[in-house]
Amino acid sequence: MNRSAGPARLTWLHTRYQVLETLRVPVVVVSTAVFPALIFTVFVVPQAGEMSPLAATAATAQLAVFSAMSTALFTHGAGIAEDRALPWDTHLRTLPVGATPRFLARVLMGAFFTLLGLVPLVLLSALLTDATVTVPRFLEGLVALLAAGVPLLALGLAIGYSLPAKAALALAQVVLLPLAFAGGLFLPPETMPDWLQSISVWTPTRAGRDLVTSAVTGLDVGTRVVPVLVGWAVVFGAVAVWAIRRDQGRRFR
């Protein structure tokens, strides 16, 4: 690796390498790009004729949050755990370039695959439902999705740096669906029973879902959403920092 390269150049090189390496694993690409669209086809499309444009737009937005969560748990969580087991990762830590470019590259790679998952989802929504959104609201939705993804990214980092590969993959699979259902990413939260509704509003997925749907539909976001997102980001972020420091300490004793 070129030691004279600046941080931006190093970040780009790491990002390109990680994206190309991940694209070589078809199951990752399929799960990222196809799974959210498949769920949309199963849960939303059959009801499209009975849904208002507002409801169809909200359904698309909440599955976009699911796409971001899937990327965070598998690309960051399970992916980091697998990389930690490789000798190449240990070699990279010995290079005099610091960890920041590699960390930023992981974030950018996650953003790339999140956007990749949005492409078939948005196309299906435009072709098969009455969902509609203006360009400014669409851009607001992307910004909201970025904010909603912060605690999910922190959760993925915490899993990836604290567990071995097999355990990280298993935990990501166990966490994914319960968080999605509790957060109202598959079905509208209004259809939940009262006991689940009272739990849902405190989950990071529900807060992220409400933030993104509010951005693309113009509905009121509520006062609880931002504090819940910030709270979970702090909690998961603290665990991630602890796990990263512990992992580095073990490798360089």
Query: For residue range 43-67, what is the model confidence (pLDDT) as tens digits?
Result: 889 888 888 999 999 999 999 999 8
pTM assigned to the model: 0.85
Q: What sign has the CA pseudo-torsion 177, 179, 184, 190? A: positive
Whole-angstrom Cα distance, residue 111 to residue 186?
Answer: 22
pLDDT at 86: 72
Whole-angstrom Cα distance, residue 177 to residue 64?
Answer: 15
Mention every residue, 6+ apart, whose C-beta is less than 8 A from residue 230: none
Whole-angstrom Cα distance, residue 155 to residue 172?
Answer: 10
93-148 tens-digit pLDDT: 666 666 677 778 888 888 888 888 888 999 999 999 999 999 999 999 999 999 99
Q: What sign has the CA pseudo-torsion 34, 40, 46, 50? A: negative
207-245 tens-digit pLDDT: 999 999 999 998 888 889 999 999 999 999 999 889 888
Whole-angstrom Cα distance, residue 233 to residue 238?
Answer: 8
